[in-house]
Structure 1
Amino acid sequence: MWDEEKMKLNKIPKKTDGTAGSSTNEATWTTFEKAVSAVRDGDLDGIGFAGMGRTPFVGIDIDHCIDPETREISAHAMKLVREFDSYTERTVSATGLRIWIEAEKKPGSWCGSKNQVRELEVYSQGRFFTVTGLHLDGTPKTIERRQEAFDAFMEREAPPEKPKPPKAAYNGSSDYRLELDEFLQEHGVMVLGPRNDQSSERAYAVVCPWAHEHTGGDTSGTRVGQYPDGALWFKCDHAHCDGRVWEHFRQYLDPEAYKRGKIYFREHGDRTDKAEEASPAKKRNQADRLIDYALATGAELFCDQMGAPHVLVQGDAVPLNTRSYYWLRGLMWDTEGISTGGEALKTAAGTLAAFAVKGGKVRELHTRAAFHEGAVYYQLGAGRVVKTDQDGWGIDEAPPVVFRSIPNLKPLPDPEPGGSLDALEELVNLKTERDKRMFKVYAVTLPLPHIPRPILQTTGVMGSGKTTAGRVMKRTLDPTSPETVRMDPRDFLQKASHSYIVMLDNLNSIPEWGVDTLCRLVTGEADSKRSLYTDDEDFIYEMKRSILLNGINAPTERGDAQDRTLPVELERIPDDRRRSEESLWTAFERGHAKLLGAIFDALANTLREKETLRLSRRPRLADWGEYAAAAYQALGWGTEAFLEDWDAVVKIQNQGTLEGSTVAQAILSFMESRTEWAGLASDLHTKLEVEAEELNINIKKDKTWPKSPSWLWRRMREVLPLLTAMGVEANQQHAETGSKIRLVKVGRGPDPDPDGNPDSTEEDAVRDAVRENPAKESAFDKPDSTDGICGHSATPLPRTEEKKSAKRGENGVETHTGRELPRNTVSAVSTHAGAKKRVEPGSVGELFENPPNWLRLQVEKHLENPAERTIKPLCTAVATELYSNPFQGTEIRPEVEEALERWSK
């Protein structure tokens, strides 16, 4: 009700008819629907939830965490919201939050603190809560079980317990065994909030049992408390309660116990039955009894592949550390009907861990997926596993593999037949048919944990749904909380180990250590960290993970990362097709089970096709390539379509690597007018520096540029696959005079047709040659003369005199074929099919009229700062896209410049 005198909501319980209610009298309670109706139709101002001691819910109040002016939520509050990831609502004051979770709160434990930094209240019993229904966006709409997070929160936030030396009683109370919180819970006293009382260990504002209207707020009304020595006190400011102390308060609530001699016993606690005390079981301490109960269950004790001790509880592998405490507590309660403390739990878990180590049994634990004897086992939830093999899929009640018990993993629905992978297209706005095929096949191969899977890198302009695409893939096969992982060197591996699919959202750049770690995660990562600050024992991480990555641009251009990447591009979603988040995820949840069924259907067919598959060539991640090709075959597209799609992917990978390697750019430019060069690393380093200057590369500021000849080969070795794909082979030889490097244009094409027909090569033979040797697809050959070379550019790039007239140096050799080759030289086999596609008018213009995302970004980058350094890679990229021949970039430069001029207008 609204208090006119204090100008605030005074949370006094009322019945729906406006008469006095009680938090302890169920007769005054009603249903939620009737309470809502009364608030809408009557003079009541809010709804309260009673019976907190009878439900598994815990409420966490965060007061004054919302700025009344800006409506911004404080960082501390948001951290708690993310930590618990459960239903959260705004409070009546509109400046606070309340998080609802399902958890067990130990009676008498910390209930909150109020200070200038933050105000927290934690309750599960002995009071009622107001509820507003003002749901905080971005949090679940259901109350989730968060016992582990709550225990960690209490351990972190609660102050250490103070000792309780026996002292004289206060207000006539001499019952030192009586705990205030337990008493209030037992007798249904409604607690309104903690009280700041410096002399007390704990104090609360409560509803007066004699008259509810006596209750005020934090500064007046009815209060109870307990001093450090255990003595209890009561005070009510109302005149009718003048002179009443703790004994009156207690006698009113529990007259029978008071008559029995003022001794209060808990139902399951400090009993005085001598017969029970004399029983043999009671003579053993709690830790020993816990160990007996655990062994009596027959639960299997073992160590995982890292040597960590575990116990198998109902099919779940539970580590024998603090996470086994819930199991042990349950055993004690089920057997003796009492709770157990931390020291007994610690001792029992440690002893059981010793038994596991001594037993010598080792079992491999898996996260979400396992591959065993040709079958894939995928964990849906606790005790629910799908087995998929060549014959199909189904729920396996007794799988031969064991999965880790990880609280972060959310359950998946049971798959249903009759679904289609086309559902992914309805949720994700993929740009090309190739992107759609690759996205579907990636989903089918994700449940294969034993092979390295490429990093799925989704790119696109703002509004194309990059984050949504990642979430669709993540939630389809590996929903977790939290959903994404932050790139932090301190705990990245730990967070990654808690997921099967690692999602990195909206990254525009990745630090060097991060690139190294991601590359190792793809192929298999092993690392260790210190278990405790008090010892030197290591905790070992060993894992192989699928990675989802998104951003407007590729966050890294390093060659080793590009080789492990599967890029897919998204289109901007038109405004008339854009849908709300609620609508999209409702549709996703509705079709989730059938989409899972479609994935497992395709996976079963893939496993069957894989048995007879033979590829003429394989991608960088060969194992994944074979399964992906088998999936193409199973889905009706054929392995040839996969090879063609992967060739397009390689072009994108190479382009990304080329843009990130100034050394590769300089070498390709240097070799444009040469067919071969050999010499000392120092000579090549000097020549490449000259080349870099012509490309407007600032070698002093470029961190990747080799600062000395000794670093040149190291940088070249990083991009050797790229150079080979671009038609230049490089190798190093050691001589007495120093390290020598040799550069050669590779890939001699067929001799010109005697009849002068350059297109006489049979198309089928060309296609076979491309598939057998894709690395030489962009190669030059070395004609005997320059006669008959056509398509000479009328506007060649400026070159230095050194490049126009090659000279044989003392330590090096430069080979030309007679006079200098025109810069548009293209061999008959530069791309077998591409050699026939000489530059045709309109080809470049057509590409610029319908630009792919990478071209749009590169053009915008050039127009921001027009320079030789940006125009040259742009021409190279366009030539690679159109003709699979980067050296043709010089020839098409006039068309590119013309297209750029139209673009800028």
Structure 2
Amino acid sequence: MDARTLTDDAEVKAEDVLPADLTTAALAELLEIARAGDAPAFWRALKTRTDAIKSLMDDDPGEFQAWRAEVKTACNKINIGTLDDFIRPSGGGDGGNQATELVELAAARCELWHDTDGNGFATITGETHNEHWRIDSTGFRDWLSWIAHSEMGTAPSAETIKSACNAMAGQAKFDGDEHEPRRRVAKDASGYWLDIGDDHWRAILLTATGWRIMNDPPVRFIRTKATRPLPEPVSGGSVDALWSLVNVPEQERMLVLAWIIECFRSDTPYALLELTGEQGAAKSTAQRIFRRFVDPNQVELRGKPKTTEDIYVAAANSHLLSYENLSGLSNDQSDALCTCCTGGGYAARQLYTNGEESILAAHCPVALNGISPVVLRPDLLDRSVSITLPEITVRKTDDEVREATEAAAPGIMGALLDLFSNAMALIVAACNRKRRARNPWAFSAHINCN
């Protein structure tokens, strides 16, 4: 309060005029200590002046930032990040800092849990659906930022979000239950599950008797921000519509169908689909359309990976690996793709300062294309389906293909799901032996029966 604004009858109290003087004196004293280069004395003096500095931060942020910059320039021995921790504004009640308040708000709106490796996850409970995110994912950090904005009325700093994520990851690991996160496909006692990937977090349940869309699936599907939705399936469609969109020879179509519906399973080894052909054979177009019905992604086709680690990182963040315009594969890259198809992992040192390992688990199908065959090593050849696309005589524009795909996609998706269920019914009826159930090509033997 400014004493000049008081009326004649008002009583001037010491607390009305002294705080500004005390704050100014505290700033000057601390700055003088910093200029002397005495960091220990600075921290000791700051302990008794924290309230005054916090008051300045709340009342005059610009002046506080100017003083903070002067301290930083005066003494490089004073860690500015630590200074910020000392005088962080008390956004929450009872003097709690922003990160603590954010953790309390977020924990009340989600379930914290962990996987077998101790990685922390959160299930965000909404009015119409639940969302499952890894705590260190961009999607979950964005949600925390929204909570801070909508509930706390503040824009949280990166350090606040990081601190909140660290605290919630600890709670998830030590206080939460253990569950298995899945990506795009899963299997439980009910049957096979396929994550649609839409905003409502619905999933498709596939059994030997048919398929249906479930609004609240029990499987905890996780996603990345690059995940895109599958076509909304409708009954009564036909897979014949697929062949009008892609340049696949008739004699090879059965193998393509077997590869696609095998991608809907999570409990078998996968196969690698290799598309070859001359320039202009629409290899990338076909591969992009196939992916539309398996695992749509923001980046549908990727260039050649530079390292094997790039392969495992991509496999850990999507259900389908998809590469285009390849001219060759190194031995290490070929081995990595083998591991992805059959299931395995990659381990590397987590930090250069310690001996801990960072593990990337991988189990996913693979699709790639090139003018000449690039799958040459025998171990990868055993896991591959190689199809040569013929020369195109009648071409369509990209817009024509895109419009035709969007129009036919719901019916094609429904027909693929019907085919999956029918193949399951035939397999169950034919044989329940474990060897058949684990054969990645068990479906293809029965597709003709449909």
Q: TM-score, normalised on structure 1?
A: 0.38
Cα deviation, residue 388, structure 1: 1.2
In the aligned structure 1, how far is the partner of 2:101 from the partner of 2:183? 33
The structure 2 residue matched to 1:425, chosen from 235, 239, 243, is 243
Residue 302 to residue 426, structure 1, CA distance change in 2 (3 Å)? same
Change (3 A) 1:518 1:288: same
Higher helix share: 2
Paired residue for 1:310? 121
Task: Quote how far apart the aligned CAs of 1:279 are.
Answer: 11
Asked if the contact 1:444/1:631 (under 8 Å) is kept, the reply is no
- Structure 2: distance between partners of 1:390 and 1:549: 31
The letter for the 1-side match of 2:117 is M
Q: Which residue of structure 1 aligns with residue 6 of structure 2?
A: none
Deviations 1:168-212 (Å, cap 9, x if unpaired)? Answer: xxxxxxx96359xxxxxxxxxxxxxxxxxxxxx9xxxxxxxxxxx
- From 272, 275, 291, the counterpart of 1:458: 275
Q: Which of residues 378, 381, 388 is equivalent to 1:559?
A: 378
Q: Residue 143 of structure 2 aligns with which residue?
A: 327
Contact 2:311 2:336 in 1 (8 A): no
Deviations 1:764-810 (A, max 9, x none): xxxxxxxxxxxxxxxxxxxxxxxxxxxxxxxxxxxxxxxxxxxxxxx
User: What does 1:357-372 correspond to in 2, within 5 Å?
Assistant: 357-359=173-175, 361-372=177-188
Determine the C-alpha separation between the residues in 2 that align with 1:278 and 1:622: 58
Superposed CA RMSD in Å reads 2.8
- Three-state SS of the structure 2 residue aligned to 1:612 is helix
Give the C-alpha shift of residue 533 in structure 1.
4.2
Q: Deviations over 1:111-163 (max 9, x none)?
A: xxxxxxxxxxxxxxxxxxxxxxxxxxxxxxxxxxxxxxxxxxxxxxxxxxxxx
Label 1:610 to 1:278 Cα distance change in 2 as closer, same or farther (>3 A): closer
Q: How many positions carry a matched residue from both structures?
A: 361
Q: What does residue 177 of structure 1 align with? A: 61
Superimposed CA distance per residue, residues 89-116 of structure 1 (whole angstroms, 9 cap, x where no aligned partner): xxxxxxxxxxxxxxxxxxxxxxxxxxxx
Per-residue Cα deviation, 1:487-534 (whole angstroms, up to 9, x for no partner)? 222422102222211112122311000111111111112112333444
Q: Secondary structure at the match of 1:608?
A: helix
Aligned residue runs from structure 1 range 116-265, under 5 A: 177=61
1:552 Cα deviation after fit: 2.4
Please list the CA deviations of residues 349-394 of structure 1 after superposition, one character each: whole Å capped at 9, or x if unmatched: 2111111111252211111111222512111124121111122111
- Alpha-carbon distance in 2 for matches of 1:625, 1:441: 7
SS in structure 1 at match of 2:368:
strand
Amino acid in structure 1 at the alignment position of 2:132: A
The reply on whether 1:520 has 2:336 as its aligned counterpart is no
Structure showing greater Rg: 1
Closer/same/farther in 2, CA of residues 321 and 440 from structure 1, 3 Å limit = closer
**Which amino acid in the other structure matches residue 403 of structure 1?**
F
**Shift of residue 282, structure 1, vs aligned partner:** 5.2
Alignment of 1:15-414 (within 5 A): 177=61, 281=93, 283-297=95-109, 299-314=110-125, 315-321=130-136, 323=138, 324-359=140-175, 361-373=177-189, 375-381=191-197, 382=199, 383-414=201-232
Residue number in structure 1 paired with 2:388: 569
Q: Is the 8 A contact 1:613 1:626 kept in 2?
A: no
Please state how far the C-alpha of 1:549 moved relative to its aligned partner. 1.9
Find the counterpart in structure 1 of residue 444 from structure 2. 628
> Residues 332 and 278 from structure 1, CA distance in 2 versus in 1: closer, same or farther, beyond 3 angstroms?
closer
TM-score by length of 2: 0.74
* 2:291 is the counterpart of 1:474: yes
Cα distance change of structure 1 residues 344 and 280 upon mapping to structure 2, 3 Å threshold: closer
Q: Deviation string for 1:288-325 (max 9, x for gaps)?
A: 2112212222x211112332111111433222226332
Q: CA deviation at 1:553?
A: 2.4
**Aligned to 1:395, what secondary structure does the other structure show?**
strand
Q: d(CA) in 2 for partners of 1:369 and 1:335?
A: 35
CA distance in 2, matches of 1:468, 1:512: 27
What's 1:268 paired with? none
Look up the equivalent residue of 1:353 and give its one-letter code: A
Given candidates 280, 304, 310, the residue that maps to 1:491 is: 310
Q: Describe the SS at the equivalent of 1:423.
A: helix
Cα 1:288–1:458 change in 2 (3 A) is same
Q: CA-to-partner distance for each residue in 1:824-851, whole Å, 9 max, x for gaps?
A: xxxxxxxxxxxxxxxxxxxxxxxxxxxx
Partners of 1:427 and 1:615 in 2: CA distance: 36
Instruction: State the alpha-carbon separation in 2 of the partners of residues 488 and 507 from structure 1.
Output: 12
Give ranges in structure 2 of 5+ residues lacking alignment.
1-52, 54-58, 71-88
Question: 1:511-550, aligned counterparts within 5 Å?
Answer: 511-550=330-369
Q: 1 CA distance for matches of 2:386 and 2:165?
A: 47
Offset at residue 449 of structure 1 (A): 1.9
Rounded to whole Å, the distance in 2 between the matches of 1:585 and 1:443 is 20
Q: Deviations over 1:265-300 (max 9, x none)?
A: xxxxxxxxxxxx999815221122112212222x21
> Gapped runs of 5+ residues in structure 1?
1-165, 167-174, 180-200, 202-227, 230-276, 636-905
